[in-house]
Chain A
């Protein structure tokens, strides 16, 4: 058994390369994800942070091929998903499940929660109908719900936090290898948010899950993740082990994000000025480095050449011509 907080093995469960996702509207093509590459080892949690519109949700949806990527490759457990026949893809997808932001609207309001949780088993005709309900009841128990008392009720009778527990139970009933959580706690009150984060942490170990954890809240992402990738306007600008990223952010955008957080902890140190301006439109991104229009350290070079994502220390990748470390040197 590996120790509880570093269960990641070196073998990659998910490998994403040069992922591009375009959305076509009547007037323009919006490149929501513009060449994103990352991998997640078995047992690891990768956090994906960024502001709204940066493409983090689209990335999560493309990884499970809910949204077909325009180009790029997604290799899951050794299988290339983008070229797979639809029937094979459906089969592969049972091993990768999603938990969404809005727990109430992601559950069918007309169905009993026991049936909602058992639905994946029904679709795949796993076990007898009695077995399925039995398994669903066990799953509800595992996420902290009382199946006897609540199994026959419908989603609207539950709070947001309880609905999120039900979504998690539904996602886990097929025993997936990968769980993609897209803003799983951002719609919840703080006290309930802590319950769900703790629950995800426990379940990750109980079911040996690998996770892609997408959120805009940096403190939440740090709490949940082993490694964190920061996205800006469809690209990854920095990837690092979470402790390192938060202590020594190298990309000016990561530094600015960290500086913007209102932290209730009086001990935490804050430096760096918060950003000015809004996110540029992904339909017409700035030339060169996408962040240069809001970057306090932008130079002429940044306008001309887009910085590649390069490893500056083991496991620490940055896409910046002038990362923090070189500027202070």
Chain B
């Protein structure tokens, strides 16, 4: 394979290949308490211009996954294996100098907390023009002009004046718009957005998500949207991958995830959210217990201790990712809606297993 040009990143353009292809990525942290398997064998691919939603609860490894894909984690206490192919180049084989050619111009990132991601003592203008001057090689005047246009395009009123503002002078929503402007400034082909709207009010969240979709369409960028909120990804992604304990447990086109759920964890996530359409005081499906420690994950399926459909095999043997239909992968021995799941559920309910009892109380039967 061709190496990246040390000065200018030249993508190996083969439009048939996916833009991003992650193969068996593992990211383990060496901690005093042992090895923490934050990402443990994740594979996915993303085509040009498409959106992938990565959904998981806190501690599922979704944030580490996005940083690992970008190559943003420090080398010292992290063991990373697997491959991250972006436009034909393996990002995991690149050194810091080469990666700097990729960041911003090819792949960029939008972080959750714009207050800590922006430099608090540098004016907005310099934070945007910095990458334009270094990466895109614009002179001062051209960079300024581009910055004004960028701020206007992300919906910031009186952009010329805003260039002179400091981050603390902007509201949370405005700061996130600035983050988006910075991420888009050098025309990346892929944007990784890590919880881009968490902590914002619903009305502002809707504005930011709409902005991201329209920018994405206009620039035909691909996007990875990392979030804990299934509602955020439901209407805005082509494909969803659900993560649990450092692994992808179900992955399918967005409509299929909701229509033909296979993995009990996905089912539980969908059904535990209060729905607007449901009447008041509807009993929610609560998943008992907590996600396992990534320092010492259970031997079998990581969800088995909380799963109402788990049987002996689930506790013993980790299920592999299997294909339900083209593009729909799931990792489960007793998928939702199968006779095996119903049998296991009945046995668990009679044995008084908390997960099954809670399901029965919520009126859920497989």
Contact = CB atoms under 8 A, between A and B. Distances in A.
Interface stretch (B26-34, B158-166, B268-276, B313-321): B268-276
Interface in B31-57: 57
A304 B155 CA distance: 29
Contacts of A287: none
A216 B284 contact: no
A257 B206 CA distance: 10
A266 B234 contact: yes
Contacts of B282: 223
B119 interface: no
Interface stretch (A64-72, A170-178, A274-282): A274-282
B277 A216 contact: no
Interface stretch (A82-90, A194-202, A319-327): A194-202
Given A190-B57, A190-B269, A275-B207, A195 B288 contact: yes
A266 B273 CA distance: 13
Interface string B258-272: 100000000011101
Contacts of A278: 171, 173-174, 204
B280 interface: yes
Interface in A208-238: 216-220, 222-226
A193 B58 CA distance: 13
A274 B203 contact: yes
A64 to B, nearest CB: 24
A222 B280 CA distance: 5
A111 B278 CA distance: 40
A222 B207 contact: no
Contacts of B269: 190-191
Main DSSP-derived SS at the B contact region = loop
Interface in B179-221: 201-207, 209-210
Contacts of A216: 201-202
A5 B281 contact: yes
B73 interface: no
Nearest to B173: A278
B283 interface: yes
A189 interface: yes
Interface residues of A, number: 46
A242 B210 CA distance: 28
B272 A261 contact: no
Contacts of A266: 234, 255, 258
Contacts of B201: 51-52, 216, 279
A328 interface: no
Interface centre among B234, B278, B284, B287 (most CB of A within 10 A): B284
Contacts of A260: 202-203, 205-206
A197 B237 CA distance: 29
Contact of B268 (A51, A191, A222, A261): A191
A193 B173 CA distance: 25
A198 B283 contact: yes
A190 B273 contact: yes
A201 B283 contact: yes
Nearest to A186: B199
A298 to B, nearest CB: 16
Given A190-B57, A216-B201, A264-B273, A223 B278 contact: yes
Contacts of A156: none
Given A225-B280, A264-B258, A276 B207 contact: yes
Given A195-B286, A261-B276, A223 B281 contact: yes
Nearest to B235: A262
B229 interface: yes
A262 B205 contact: yes
Given A191-B287, A195-B288, A262 B234 contact: yes
A266 B67 CA distance: 31
B174 A219 contact: no
B228 interface: yes
Contacts of A279: 171, 201
Interface residues of B, number: 45
Interface in A134-159: 159
Nearest to A159: B290
Contacts of A258: 276
Given A5-B281, A189-B57, A198-B284, A268 B276 contact: yes
B279 interface: yes
Nearest to B275: A265
Contacts of B249: none
B279 A261 contact: no
Interface in A243-269: 243, 246, 256-268
Contact of B274 (A220, A262, A267): A220
A259 to B, nearest CB: 8
Nearest to B227: A262
Given A197-B284, A264-B258, A243 B279 contact: yes
A262 B287 contact: no
B241 interface: no
A161 interface: yes
B203 A264 contact: no
A10 to B, nearest CB: 19
Contacts of B272: 190-191, 193-194
Contacts of B236: 262
Given A159-B290, A191-B268, A194-B287, A219 B273 contact: yes
B347 interface: no
Contacts of B206: 259-262, 274-275
B4 interface: no
B230 interface: yes
B285 interface: yes
Given A190-B57, A191-B268, A278-B204, 19 more contacts: A189-B228, A190-B272, A191-B57, A191-B269, A192-B290, A194-B272, A194-B284, A198-B283, A198-B286, A216-B202, A222-B274, A223-B280, A223-B281, A263-B276, A264-B234, A264-B273, A265-B277, A274-B207, A274-B210
16 contacts: A161-B290, A189-B228, A191-B269, A192-B290, A193-B272, A194-B274, A197-B274, A222-B276, A261-B206, A262-B206, A262-B235, A263-B234, A264-B230, A266-B258, A274-B206, A275-B207
Interface of B: 57-58, 171, 173-174, 201-207, 209-210, 228-232, 234-236, 255, 258, 268-270, 272-288, 290
